[in-house]
Structure 1
Amino acid sequence: MEKAKISVIQLFALMFIFELGTALVVSYGTGAGKDAWLSILLAMSGGIVLSFIHYFLFHRYSNLPLTGYVRKIFGKYIGWIISLCYCVYFLYICGRNVREFGSIIVSSTLPETPLLVINIALVLVMCYVLHLGVEVVGRTAEVFIVILFLLGAVGNFFVLVSGDVDFHQIRPFLEHGWKPIFTTAFPHLIVFPFGEMIAFTMLLPYLNRPELAKRVWLTAVISSGLILSWTVLLNTSVLGIDVMQRSVFPTLTAVGKVNLFDFIERLDAIVVFTLLITVFFKASIYLYAAVIGIADLFKANTYHRILLPIGTIVIFLSLTMASSFSEQGEEGFLIEKYISFPLFIVIPLFMLVISIIRNYVKNKTS
């Protein structure tokens, strides 16, 4: 762990941007049909429950990152293996985010540019910022969250005044009942992106006011969840559910339809800039969580020496994990079911139960 501190505002900015990530752009929650926005709100409630679990564990082990208190709870050897699994998986998801960003840029903006060039450029910038330390990442997020809000406000304004919005397309509510809403929200939407917030358990020890960790976490989850729900609702109102479900990048398609007076058009650049900001910070958080976790497990004095080699692994993963974006999406559903759900939901719940039982036994015997 480096000797650094981040403020409450910086942590909120990082969490908020992290939660939006690629969920703003990719086809998200469409399994629930017209009620996708409601499914996201339900998943957000699950994210709130997870935030209480992570805060309880952080409160019990306030000076330790995730890799530290996993070993405290599960023991030296089993805990070390589980911690390594978390670090490897953080790297994998970092690679997924880099790949998704590269695929979107190639398909929408730079069709002649090799995917390798885009991915290398992104990872090198990530490594440079992380080399400067988590304080620099936090201060950078403070600046970019303002830019993100401005881009969002401009994009929403032009879509709403474009005349393409028809809120009748989200009706009727509960067309197919509650079942598709629940099955989409749990476990898919609760894992992505709300369960992914477990990466911040590696950063919470840096918070300069740890007593406010719960408030910051809840505010970030609720605000980002509401924005994701609104984005899906707006996309459905513009595109209709049929186009929404077929579209790979519905937000890009919806914003790209804006054409005011044959003068204001091609606003999909706003979505690309937004994606650049959100993916950069989300992938950076995952990369940072992985490198400091590996440094902690292997008792390295600093993470700086391993940052670039691990960044190279991320580039390799981003290029080899799938042959196409659609294949990557199919692979992602399987991974969420068999890997993400246990790591992000089951194990934290198990750690909570063990910690409560130990605390109860300790108080009873003392």
Structure 2
Amino acid sequence: MSKQVKESLTVSPFFLFFIIHGTQTSVGMLNFQSEIVEGAEQDAWISILLVGFSFHLIIWMMYFLLKKSNNGDILSLHQQMFGKWIGNIFNLCFYGYIILTVSTIVRSYIEILQVWVFPYVHLWELSLVIVLASAYIVSGGFRVVTGICFWGVVLPSVVLVTLYFPLKYANWNNLLPLFNHNLGDYIASANQTISNYLGPELLLIYFPFIKNNQNSQKWAHISIAYTTILYFIITIVSFVYFNIRQLEHTIWPILILSKIIQFPFIERFEYIYIFAWLLVILPPCCVYLWGGTRILKTTINLKPKRSLWISSAIVIVIVINLKTEISIENIISFQSTAGLVFLYCYIPTLFFGLNIINFFKKRKSLEN
């Protein structure tokens, strides 16, 4: 069967760079530095590079699975390996993960809005605006979603320019001593880092919408490399500006860094960051919502518009029920763990399982 939908619905392989990177830059970019120092401290930048390298291996496994899938996505691969009913159960579990991820992104961003800008605006009002904006973009189709992902690359890249200001106050001794932590410390920091790299797993759904997708793998790797470089640079700048003890008690380091940026016509530059970040969280929200819509259409034959609004309603219900700081931390932790298990356990299991199945099929065909 075809591994690509009709050409009018596809996008160029080059846009895979924007889609993957757009889903990897979200609210986590504003506070990941204060989380990764818990393990390797000033050496946590090594964990950033290690996680980036591991994602190249995961992308390679994904492409192997997608090329073996009948329809070029994980939805048909599940049915191919486990049968229709069990395969659909796995597909619906993936849908649950997608809804959880969108809810986490939206709630995390709303927390920033409420703390920094709109302390008296109701939670349901902010969630309604963000989710409806995402749903409206998704209703335009995959090409429109790809377009919004472009901004998910441009805006975080602008961060690199603004990092010049904190570098003027850099204390490079904060990076010393080098390599003085054990393997467990690096793994602990890597565990905190993985949640910021989540997003490429949606390739398992939108792969058929990439033109000439069999030859698009290089763009996926380029995107992962660019994300790794971006996180690495932000980590280094944060470490040389803050010391480790300061980072441990700083919730949103990037926003604190932005407060030292001064222009005659802008007094509170962090507000620019906060409002501009709406265009950063929209790409992952849109791609995940689109993926959830695709799953419901393929699995239970639900019309795309209906499944889109059902998914949006579920997200809003989840978000407005996350009212306490503990509940927000719990859902973020659970979503991060689910992503880690999916990428580092489930994908390799499918990879090796499919290889074993193919091995016995070839052996059986040779015997006959």
How far residue 245 of structure 1 moved from its aligned partner, in angstroms, is: 1.5
Deviation, 1:87, is 0.4
In the TM superposition, residue 345 of structure 1 has moved relative to its aligned partner by: 2.2
Identify the residue that residue 184 of structure 1 maps to in structure 2: 189
Choose from 109, 120, 129 the match for 1:121: 129
Change in Cα spacing, 1:245 to 1:212, as seen in structure 2 (3 Å) is farther
C-alpha separation in 2, matches of 1:39 and 1:91: 28
Give 1:319's aligned residue. Answer: 320
- Which residue in the other structure is 1:157 paired with? 164
TM-score (structure 1 length as normaliser): 0.90
* SS in structure 2 of the partner of residue 132 of structure 1: coil
Aligned residues: 357
Contact 2:61–2:347 (8 Å) recurs in 1: yes
**CA drift at 1:347:** 1.5
Q: Distance in 1 between matches of 2:188 and 2:288?
A: 27
2: distance between equivalents of 1:357 and 1:112?
Answer: 57
| Preserved CA contact (<8 Å) 2:199 2:284 | no
Change beyond 3 A, Cα 1:274–1:47: farther
Taking the aligned partners of 1:229 and 1:246, their CA distance within structure 2 comes to: 21
Give the deviation of 1:85 after TM superposition: 0.6
Identity %: 18
Structure-2 residue corresponding to 1:354: 353
Which residue does 1:295 correspond to in 2? Answer: 297
2:332 maps to what in 1?
A: 332
> CA shift at 1:257, angstroms?
3.0
TM-score, length-normalised on structure 2?
0.89
The one-letter code matched in structure 2 to 1:140 is: I
CA contact (8 A) 1:19 1:224 kept: yes
Give the secondary structure class of the aligned counterpart of 1:29: helix
Name which of 196, 202, 215 aligns with 1:212: 215
Cα RMSD (Å):
2.3
Q: Which AA in structure 2 matches 1:349?
A: P
Letter in 2 for 1:127: A
| Structure 1 unaligned blocks of 5 or more | none
Separation (CA, whole Å) in 1 of partners of 2:96 and 2:353: 24
Structure 1 equivalent of residue 283 of structure 2: 281
Q: How does 1:159-308 map to 2 (within 5 A)?
A: 159-160=166-167, 163-185=168-190, 187-190=191-194, 192-259=195-262, 265-300=267-302, 302-308=303-309
Offset, 1:90: 0.6
Residue 70 of structure 1 is aligned with which of 69, 78, 95? 78
Q: 1:240 to 1:265 in 2, by over 3 A?
A: farther
User: For the residues of structure 1 that align with 2:204 and 2:290, how far apart are their CA atoms?
Assistant: 12
Q: What do residues 52-83 of structure 1 show as CA deviations (whole Å, max 9, x unaligned)? A: 11111111126332222122122222222111
Distance in 1 (CA, whole Å) between partners of 2:53 and 2:85 is: 34
The verdict on how the C-alpha distance between 1:345 and 1:327 changes in structure 2, with shifts beyond 3 A counting, is same
How far does residue 93 in structure 1 lie from its aligned partner after superposition? 1.0
Is 1:29 the equivalent of 2:36? yes
- Where do 5+ consecutive residues of structure 2 fail to align? none
Deviation (angstroms), 1:231: 0.9
Q: Does 1:102 align with 2:110?
A: yes
Q: Does 1:84 align with 2:87?
A: no
Give the superposition deviation at 1:15.
0.9
